[in-house]
Structure 1
Amino acid sequence: MAGLFELTLDDVTGIIQAPQPEDDKYSRGVVGLAVGSDDYPGAAALAAEAAMRAGAGMVRLIAPTRAAELALHTRPEIVAVPGRIDSLVVGSGMPEGSSADITARVALCELGDHAPRIIDAAALGDAPHIGGPRILTPHAGEMTRLAQALHLPGADPSAWAEALAAHWGVVVVLKGHRPEIFHPEGLAYRLPAGTAWLATAGTGDVLAGLLGALGALRRLPQWSFDDLAFTAAAAVLVHQEAASRLSRHSGAGQPGPVLALELARELSPVVASLVGQGDEDDS
């Protein structure tokens, strides 16, 4: 994988398969969201909207009352009780110093050892204690703080992200205008630049929910670092394309502002364009 730096949406077509007549909400993939807090309740609504718009069969939300009520008001399909899940998103919309809360929420998740974990925001520093196949999603500021805490070698966020992937044995998505994805062997993908209008509150929560959905939808029995990196790259590309479409629409043909909830809702047509067609019967 190392050395394959460029990737486009065409390269990830077929990453998930169309649902089949025998599928149900469980076989489609169940995403667990240990996200949101009383301080930042919106993260739960945004991540859940993104996971559903990306095609997950079910979203289970493990969150305090205020975040859960807001998310359920936005998306009544959410199941707000623990149970079996196929991928986990943890940390989005939680304040710093949430380690005890993170540990408690993760303990409620019925998650197999080989299911992917998407670790975001306040949970980044807890990654070694979460275990399993992991994708970390820091932005440059979070990466800088991790580098300082862990005394990582290097002089910039890219170097630190590469060092972190090797140090913890994880995949790292370094978010930014031109995202980079690292696995323990080094740089896996340097992706094209996205629209700068993506730099707004909540879009990272949307990416986290989208990543959780792709992790659940793929349902791989084992996740290699290459699998994790490719899935992460696909999610970033879908996120960027949805933002680009939304920006052009909001600006009446010119680039314009992007709002996070609208971005989540724009994921569906982009994901649909990437679905591998099986034997789905639409009659």
Structure 2
Amino acid sequence: MIATRPFELDDARRLVTAPALRDSKYTRGVTLLATGSEEYPGAAVLSCAGALAGGAGFMRYLGPETPTSLVLSRLPEVVVGGGRADAAVIGSGIGSARDDARATELRELVEMDLPTVVDAGALELIADTTPKSCILTPHESELDKLGEQLGLGTISTQKSGRRRTRTVRGKQARSVAEHTGQIVLIKGAATRIVTPGAETAHLIEAPSHWAATAGTGDVLAGMIGAFLAGAAARSSMPLTNEEMAWQASLGAWVHAWAAWTAARRASGDHITAEEVLDAMSHPAMAAGFMGPIRASDLARAVPTVLAATLAEA
């Protein structure tokens, strides 16, 4: 059995900071995103939107023509091209990183000491590179595929109950983390963040399940990248695995509450940061009418969740 520790509001308050008098776009963190593709250009917009909503001070985007044009038309704050960065996000909306035009840059990012979120099509690079400072963000089928590529096998969840499924997925994530030396965030209604060598995994139980829709994982990847960049920019030393795991957990927690907030708004409820704070303080009592959301709705709700987190109880 994998021991878990719930990530809670007090944890988030310890990690979320507001800009101070001497802060600039650079001290708030530079985030580089190599996401999206000609086949899935929307993932580029959603991952960039997640990073901006998460408070990225400066954002760079590296991608092909169609997603680049789409990003600039929707998010003019983004700067196109590579360069100095405090953290990176790669893979969201990329079918195969090995076949992508950015393959060389993606491999270099995986093997640098730069905190890097590795998502979707970039996960295949983990098996044939030497990853240095990565957070792997697979969903269940991607975790299966990655385990197989690493020679760890797969775990079938057919005929397994919900509790058993969570247990075996936790064990599988632990195996991948220990084998690669990298943090593994396994996405789902109950998100686990497993750190190699750590005795417990962080656990985020979603207050609603409206985030189960296309593109929300892209938003999550971008948001975690922004949190990592901010933490790295504030630190005089490279981030440790433990520090990176806390930022990944913060991203998953904010993401879960942003989905809840967006779902409340979908019902016509003009929910305020004060009401979000009340729900976060008493998650067992979080209720209200809710409706379907899109990934972009979730991204728009992130600033409200962060404002609630920063507010005094």
TM over 0.5: yes
Name the counterpart of 1:121. Answer: 120
Count of residue pairs brought into register by the alignment: 275
Q: Which amino acid aligns with 2:66?
A: R
Give the CA deviation at 1:74: 0.7
How far apart in 2 are the matches of 1:130 and 1:70?
Answer: 33
Q: What secondary structure does 2:245 align onto?
A: helix
Q: Deviations over 1:166-221 (max 9, x none)?
A: 00001000001111111112542122134221110100000000000000111232
Name the counterpart of 1:209. Answer: 222
Q: Deviations over 1:32-64 (max 9, x none)?
A: 001010000011111111111111111100010
8 Å CA contact 1:102–1:123 kept in 2: the answer is no
How far apart in 1 are the matches of 2:145 and 2:58?
Answer: 34
Query: 1:132/1:98 Cα in 2 relative to 1: closer, same or farther (>3 Å)?
Result: same
How far apart in 2 are the matches of 1:92 and 1:39?
Answer: 12
Name the counterpart of 1:24. Answer: 24
Q: What secondary structure does 1:40 align onto?
A: coil
Give the CA deviation at 1:16: 3.4
Name the counterpart of 2:298. Answer: 263
- Which residue among 227, 252, 258 is the counterpart of 2:243? 227
How far apart in 1 are the matches of 2:309 and 2:229?
Answer: 16
Name the counterpart of 2:195. Answer: 183
Q: What secondary structure does 1:115 align onto?
A: coil
How far apart in 1 are the matches of 2:137 and 2:47?
Answer: 14
How far apart in 1 are the matches of 2:111 and 2:153?
Answer: 33
Name the counterpart of 2:69. Answer: 69
Q: What secondary structure does 1:132 align onto?
A: coil
Name the counterpart of 2:176. Answer: 164
Give the CA deviation at 1:275: 4.3
Name the counterpart of 1:244. Answer: 260
8 Å CA contact 2:96–2:124 kept in 1: the answer is no
Q: Percent identity?
A: 35
Q: CA RMSD in A?
A: 2.4
1:51 aligns with 2:51: yes
Q: Which amino acid aligns with 1:193?
A: A
User: Structure 1: 5+ residue runs without aligned partners?
Assistant: 278-283
How far apart in 1 are the matches of 2:148 and 2:28?
Answer: 40
1:137 aligns with 2:137: yes
The two structures have a TM-score, normalised by structure 1, of 0.89
Q: What secondary structure does 1:76 align onto?
A: coil
Structure showing the higher helix proportion among its residues: 2
Q: What secondary structure does 1:13 align onto?
A: helix
How far apart in 2 are the matches of 1:77 and 1:95?
Answer: 26
Name the counterpart of 2:84. Answer: 84
Q: What secondary structure does 2:242 align onto?
A: helix
User: Structure 2: 5+ residue runs without aligned partners?
Assistant: 156-167, 269-287
How far apart in 2 are the matches of 1:107 and 1:141?
Answer: 22
Give the CA deviation at 1:100: 5.1
How far apart in 2 are the matches of 1:275 and 1:217?
Answer: 16
- Which residue among 185, 199, 222 is the counterpart of 1:173? 185
Name the counterpart of 1:280. Answer: none
